[in-house]
Amino acid sequence: MDAQQILSLSPVMPVVALHDAEAAVDLAHALHAGGIGVLEITLRTPSALTAIANIRRALPDVLVGAGTVLDAAQLAAAADAGAQFAISPGINPAFAEACARAPVPVIPGVATAGEVMLASAHGFGVCKLFPAEAAGGRALLKAWHAPFAHMRFCPTGGISPDNAADYLRLPNVLCVGGSWLTPPDVLARRDWHTVTALARQAAAWRSEQGG
């Protein structure tokens, strides 16, 4: 599965910071029960790689990726743990080269036209726009569609149920990313019913292009 197919699986890519690897399978199961079978576990917690491995082992129907991947070493560690894709918040020339050689599809982060050009030059047709709202939001994506008509994006950062549907209507948006499906307090009390309800709401949206 390539990056475009991965980002077309669901209108929302859950961005998860998990402090308890033991909860990973229940969490992924709760998202899946709500209709979202793909998630990004950010490498921001010590338990992230174990969480990825646990989901990969237990839930073959769920696609699990690593997020907040910052360098080639983290890319390799994520793939070793079983991550099926990787997402970064940004890009630079060395990282772009590492991504192009990676054993799993990578969705590099961009926030400027120059970074889109760097990603495109390394063969990436799908990028994360991060931080989406702060970087220019829908106006930026509309402006990019003319010079970068071949590029597709997963805007993330500041997306919520209030603006997600508007992003999903843009012709260059495959899906949106966000942490609102897995709020820290909900994860802390293992409130899987709430996660499933939030996922169900998000899964009902449709991108014109993607999931």
- Per CB under 6 A, residues contacting ligand 3PG are 15, 42, 67-68, 130, 156-159, 177-180
Q: Which residue has the tokens 């360098």?
A: 71
What are the catalytic residues?
A: 40, 128
In 3D, which of 8, 3, 4 has the Cα closest to residue 206? 8
Stretch (H or E) spanning 113: helix 113-121
Residue whose CB is less far from ligand 3PG, 67 or 211: 67
Closer residue to ligand 3PG, CB minimum distance, 108 or 177: 177
Query: C-beta of 119: minimal distance to ligand 3PG in Å?
Result: 16
**What separation in angstroms does the CA of 176 have from each of 21, 123, 132, 190?**
25, 21, 9, 24
What is the nearest approach in angstroms of ligand 3PG to the Cβ of residue 109? Answer: 8
3-state DSSP assignment of residue 31: helix
Tokens of 65: 């990726």
Closest separation in Å from C-beta 15 to ligand 3PG? 4
Q: Which is nearer to ligand 3PG, 13 or 24 (CB)?
A: 13
